[in-house]
Chains A and B, each alone.
Chain A
Amino acid sequence: MKNIIMEANNLIKCYDQEYVLNLENIKVYEGAFNFLIGSNGSGKTTLLNILSMVDTDFKGEVIYKGEKIGKEKIDILKLRRKFSVIWQNPYLFKGTVRYNIGLPLRLRKVKKEIIDKKIDKISSELEITNLLNKKHNELSGGERQKASIARALITNPEILFIDEPNNSLDYESAKYFNNLFSKLIQDGITILMITHDLYQIEHYADYITLLDQGKVIKTGLYEEMDI
């Protein structure tokens, strides 16, 4: 059993006085591939938004590395900057891939020389150096996703939140991403991923949480679960 890096208790999220999330407890395990599964509308993306601190308008407590997260803006920003999110349909800002990949570091006021070095390193690792000077609207779906992954990884996040990255990708690109995520786990990064892909779950899952109507139905080690 791996260590718990993040935990949330009594999470409640409502839209128009209707519960979209109402769960007692969820755990994210360190250095592991944590999967969030469930039918459409079960609250997976809402939960991912909350745990990644993108959405802070919720009730309940979030504990990160044993410390309860306050609702102060500075606490939330500090924590948010330890995470990265890869969205299902990534948004790239107007500009080149190089501009987009370096953006999170510029927001953290990192020096330009360091940013340039890191961009070169990550693009070389992800084999996307040929995309660096392409503009945001000159990319295919797979290329956009690759650029957004490089942008997410350049900050060396402690947790990588991923929302169904393979949804609109071809077989080769999907395989590429699966191998990449698997390598990241070996490097010690924690991943929490939403997926509907049974192949992914079967081959990569360490822990699984099954959601339904905003509640946790089942959770635990993949091998011990009957799903």
Chain B
Amino acid sequence: MNYIFIALRDAFKLIITLDPEVSNVVGTSLKLSLTSTFFAALLGIPLGILISKIEFKGKYLLNTILNTLLSLPTVVLGLFVYSVISRRGIFGEWGLLFTNKGIIIGQVLLILPIVVALVRNAIHDVDEKMYKTAISLGATGSQKFRLLISEARYGIIGALITSYGRVIGEVGVSMMLGGNIKGFTRTITTAIAMETNKGRFSFALALGIILLSISFIINFILYYFQSGESK
């Protein structure tokens, strides 16, 4: 039992002294997650709005697929992207495997369904009376669109925060597509897995505490926006 306390003490020491290796891993994780969330937002927000507002054949099927993809195991997605970007894959020549770009592609694909589905729900939840009211107030087409986004803003921000939370805590995609290369593609989660196996328990614990803290901050912000919805 004593080893846990010792590991905890050492872990906090690593955090407080801003250990370069810990900082590097955390920095890589934050940077990759932010980039992935940015690109997923860029694609997912317009898609979510379109799916919510436009009626088309196969919409029901698309929504079902979208909902299924919400719980996609990260290793399955990692496997799929691996098969596409590995040397024998169709994009093998691009040299994306074991690079940050490879991880970002995988992470974007992982959280894209989350962004799309939650944005779709946020837009769908806007009261139908909003449109009629906006028209009667003299809104142009683009003003009406801006009002719609503004009314759904808490839901949209919530979608992005949820996606960021999902992506920073995932391990499958980062491990399979990033290769866990020290100082380059090593993220918090892949480092925890490896360092634990190596017996560097305090190092893994330090990263675990940081990841948990990030998760707490993300949920704190998410709750703030969700409660903003009801205010």
Contact = CB atoms under 8 A, between A and B. Distances in A.
B143 A90 contact: no
Interface string A93-106: 11000000001100
Interface stretch (B29-37, B127-135, B168-176, B184-192): B127-135
How many chain A residues sit at the interface, stated as a range, is 20 to 34
Contacts of B137: 103-104, 107, 151
B135 A80 contact: yes
B151 interface: yes
B57 interface: no
Given A80-B135, A80-B138, A94-B151, A137 B129 contact: no
B140 A91 contact: no
A85 to B, nearest CB: 4
A90 B129 CA distance: 8
Interface residues of B, number: 19
Interface in A190-218: none
B37 to A, nearest CB: 24
B133 A90 contact: yes
B72 to A, nearest CB: 33
B80 to A, nearest CB: 40
The CB with the most chain A CB atoms within 10 A, among B130, B132, B138, is that of B138
B136 A80 contact: yes
A89 interface: yes
B138 A77 contact: yes
A84 B127 CA distance: 20
B135 A93 contact: no
B132 A81 contact: no
A74 to B, nearest CB: 10
A52 B135 CA distance: 10
A56 to B, nearest CB: 9
A87 B70 CA distance: 39
Interface in A145-165: 151, 155
SS class, residues of chain A in contact with chain B: mixed
A117 interface: no
Contacts of B198: none
A91 B139 contact: no
Contacts of B135: 54, 80
A108 interface: yes
The CB with the most chain B CB atoms within 10 A, among A81, A83, A87, A107, is that of A107
A135 interface: yes
B138 A93 contact: no
A62 B166 CA distance: 55
Contacts of A103: 137
Contacts of A107: 137-140, 143
B138 A94 contact: no
A160 to B, nearest CB: 11
Nearest to B154: A94
A107 B150 CA distance: 14
Contacts of B130: 91, 93
Nearest to A138: B231
B77 interface: no
A137 B133 CA distance: 17
Nearest to A109: B143
Given A87-B133, A91-B132, A107-B143, 10 more contacts: A87-B132, A89-B129, A91-B129, A93-B151, A94-B153, A107-B138, A107-B140, A108-B138, A137-B230, A151-B137
Interface of A: 49, 52, 54, 73, 77, 80-81, 83-85, 87, 89-91, 93-94, 103-104, 107-108, 135, 137, 151, 155
